[in-house]
């Protein structure tokens, strides 16, 4: 089985973003487009420029409260997410907390038939196994595509998150830990069933992220 990669693209202009998407997809299966790095008014242009690549794209508009760059009003962010959904990307990453508070957004995206990747991040720690399992069970009611990412303070934290794969039937689970101590989980998740792992083209976009070259040297040997 071929293990797949998803290159995180975080650029400040639509033109540069599009250039890197093209470059990344020559060597990677997917790209994650971080629309939150753009000014909100530039998102429509970025969507138009990249629309032929969206079937290979995981689209994200992460707010500051969830570790992203978007700092505008939540109502504006919801409107932009709806616009992105109309372009039908491969996956639209929306935070579990956002969907929990906004049922109308969930219904809107479902009507577009755009697959949702429901995501949850803990940027400070790794919760207990019981809490992680509960969270996963709650999230999978929203979508069959579930992403759970924690911060590893110990190697045991990373193995805790990876153990979710053994109880994740009937969903597409992406689960790993951030930080240096969680780095190995970004590789091992591929062997446990994750559809892909996130990588960078150079500088890491998230703590502990491997570059595309680094990950390929590991999984292609």
Tell me, yes or no, if 42 is annotated catalytic.
no
Between the alpha carbon of residue 56 and those of residues 21, 89, 217, the distances in Å are 10, 7, 22
Angle of the 43-50 helix axis to the 14-25 helix axis, nearest 10: 30
Closest C-alpha among 146, 154, 147 to residue 125:
154
Dihedral, CA atoms, 192, 195, 123, 154, nearest 10 degrees?
20
Which of 3, 135, 140, 147 is an active site residue?
147
Q: Which residue has the tokens 């153990």?
A: 163
3 counts as catalytic: no
Candidates 121, 135, 140, 160; catalytic one: 121
What burial letters (b/e) apply to 116-136, b meaning 16+ CB within 10 Å?
A: bbbbbbbeeebbeeeebeebb
CA angle 91, 96, 101 (to 5 degrees): 120
Are the beta carbons of 55 and 26 closer than 8 angstroms? no
Q: What are the catalytic residues?
A: 121, 147
């Amino acid at each position: 089985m071929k293990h797949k990669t998803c290159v995180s693209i975080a650029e400040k202009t639509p033109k540069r973003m599009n250039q890197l998407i093209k470059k990344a997809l020559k060597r990677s299966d997917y790209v994650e487009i971080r629309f939150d790095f753009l000014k909100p008014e530039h998102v429509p242009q970025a969507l138009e420029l990249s629309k032929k690549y969206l079937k290979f794209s995981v689209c994200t508009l992460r707010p500051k409260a969830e570790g992203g760059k978007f700092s505008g009003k939540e109502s504006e962010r919801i409107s932009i997410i709806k616009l992105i959904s109309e372009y039908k990307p491969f996956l639209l990453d929306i935070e579990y907390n956002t969907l929990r508070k906004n049922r109308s957004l969930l219904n809107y995206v479902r009507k577009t038939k755009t697959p949702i990747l429901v995501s949850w991040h803990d940027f400070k720690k790794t919760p207990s196994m019981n809490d992680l399992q509960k969270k996963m069970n709650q999230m999978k009611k929203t979508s069959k595509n579930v992403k759970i990412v924690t911060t590893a303070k110990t190697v045991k934290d990373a193995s805790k998150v990876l153990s979710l794969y053994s109880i994740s039937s009937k969903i597409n689970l992406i689960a790993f830990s951030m930080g240096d101590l969680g780095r190995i989980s970004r590789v091992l998740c591929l062997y446990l069933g994750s559809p892909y792992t996130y990588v960078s083209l150079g500088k890491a976009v998230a703590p502990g992220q491997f570059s595309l070259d680094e990950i390929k040297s590991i999984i292609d040997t």
